[in-house]
Structure 1
Amino acid sequence: MVVREIDKLMLSGLSVITNNENEKDTETAKIVQLWEDYQDKNILGATFNKSKNFDMYGVYSDYASDVNGDYKVTVAVEVTKPKNAIVIKDQRYLVFSKKGELPDIVIDCWKEIWDYFANESEYKRAYTIDFEKYSKEDEIEIYISIL
């Protein structure tokens, strides 16, 4: 893991509200369906002002509290204008990376993050905007906002 500063990043896409308790049960989980809806409804094709960057993002924002509260999840791409976008500005991140097969690497990476912050860690989560970055089919980077 490394610390990175994001000066400005604008992301736009399709969102739902959920929490980690709901995501543990396939009956109440919403994130998998959100990714399917993003593809099925061709949200990428309907997104205005897309950047030339073709990375996909899973964005976690609007935290009600902490790891136990509700949050908004957005499947997104980078855009060039702030209208209807999630704007990340001047934020420090602790970045966790994994390579391997999807979705296993996503689950493994989040377990590593939860374990890291559950113990006495050097950094504290800010619970502002966190995101998963998918640049390659077999690689993920998860950016966790830190104080």
Structure 2
Amino acid sequence: MVKTTRVKNLMISGKTITTNNKNEMNEQTAKIQTLWDDYSEENVYSATHDKANNSSMYGVYSNYISDLNGDYDVTVGVEVTKAKNAIVIKDEKYLVFKKEGELPQVVIDTWTEIWEYFENNTEYKRAYTIDFEHYTKEDEIEIYISIEK
């Protein structure tokens, strides 16, 4: 299921790494799973100040160098109420892909669906500004892909 929406004033704070899709396709150079593990092991959640009232987790993709082939930052975090040290989405238009299934496979499947969608669909063009995964329930994910306005 795909829908469009606008996101305003969302702020996410957490732990960040830089990677690219080529590295993530190789088990030896992949960093994203380690980032999630480190977030938990280092108890970053407890150290995060000004958390919003919800406890949903986010995976945020930002600072794209180019497109799906370039480097980008990945941040694992939670919503916060102050912009200090946070990724801030001021006002963006998004395509939202929502799926249910077992983690982490549902995330992999959804990203595969997203890449195929943009290869085969010319109605929307990716903006490569800030994309994010919103973990709404234990077995449900929404992935927000920024699109050109």
Number of the residue aligned with 1:51: 52
Number of the residue aligned with 1:118: 119
TM-score (norm 1): 0.99
For residues 100-111 of structure 1, what are the structure 2 equivalents within 5 Å? 100-111=101-112
For the pair 1:35 / 2:49, whether they are aligned, the reply is no
Post-superposition offset of 1:118? 1.1
**Bigger mean CA deviation after superposition, 18-27 or 111-120:** 111-120
How many aligned positions are there? 147
CA RMSD of aligned residues (A): 0.6
Q: Percent same amino acid among aligned pairs?
A: 63
Q: Distance in 1 between matches of 2:119 and 2:72?
A: 19
Post-superposition offset of 1:120? 3.3
Q: Distance in 1 between matches of 2:72 and 2:63?
A: 5
| Corresponding letter in the other structure for 1:68 | N
Post-superposition offset of 1:54? 0.8
Contact 1:54 1:135 in 2 (8 A): no
Unaligned segments of structure 2, at least 5 residues? none
TM-score (norm 2): 0.97
Post-superposition offset of 1:8? 1.0
Number of the residue aligned with 1:99: 100
